[in-house]
Amino acid sequence: MPRQNVELKAKTDDWQHAIGCATSVATESLGEIHQIDTYFHAVRGRLKLREISDGACELIWYNRANGYSPRISNFLLTPITDSESIIESLSSALGVRVVVEKFRQIFLYHNVRIHIDRVVNLGNFVEFEAVVGGEIDNNKAKEQVLWLQNEFAILDRDLLSTSYGDMLATRGGGGA
């Protein structure tokens, strides 16, 4: 059964400001990781294999409408132990759409993951992902994301409507 979160993504020209804001509101800091996301062509939603610098790997399917406001994302996560075989199989069956490489600082604000991202060939971004479940419904998650947008002083003109993969694919770039 898919899980849900509410997401909002924005570009930032001030990396230090974003880190400072995240540090000031965070209930926990999870440090920095390096991720490589290989996006495959999918019939519905988006499908990517995420390889993480700590050796973890997961297949992520998600379906989310594009838009500038906080939006609901339905997702499934599958832990993977053999990323090379999965990449080879999915590349053969579906084809690689784009590869996204990023360096991500991760903070938590209760149930909200705050990502401060440096995306290779794309720039710097702030992303909020409020996990829905338990006492947190979609409306509460949207409120949390909007509160964080205000705390970070993110202007509407800086909001992004698509994924990093979509942005790189339309630019003709391949990331890593």
Residue 176 lies in a domain: no
* Residue 81: closest CA among 50, 56, 52: 56
Residue 66 lies in a domain: yes
Distance CA 74, CA 131 (A): 10
Q: Where are the alpha helices (DSSP H) in 26-163?
A: 83-94, 138-151
The pTM of the full predicted model, rounded to 2 decimals, is 0.93
Distance CA 101, CA 49 (A): 12
Q: Which domain holds residue 38?
A: 3-171
Give the three-class secondary structure for 34.
strand
Specify the pLDDT at position 172.
65
Specify the pLDDT at position 175.
44
What does DSSP say about strands 3-11 and 71-79: parallel, antiparallel, or unpaired? antiparallel
Residue 14 lies in a domain: yes
Specify the pLDDT at position 84.
92
Distance CA 173, CA 121 (A): 8
Task: Give the count of beta carbons closer than 10 Å to the beta carbon of residue 66.
Answer: 10
CA 116 to chain centre: 10
Distance CA 95, CA 163 (A): 18
pLDDT per residue as tens, the chain (176 positions) = 889 999 999 999 999 999 999 999 999 999 999 999 999 999 999 999 999 998 899 999 999 999 999 999 999 999 999 999 999 999 999 999 999 999 999 999 999 999 999 999 999 999 999 999 999 999 999 999 999 999 999 999 999 999 999 999 988 654 44
Specify the pLDDT at position 171.
80
Residue 48 lies in a domain: yes
CA dihedral 56, 9, 109, 149 (to 10 degrees): 170
The tally of domains found in the chain comes to 1
Residue 147 lies in a domain: yes
The enclosing domain of 30 has a CATH number of 2.40.320.10
Residue 94 lies in a domain: yes
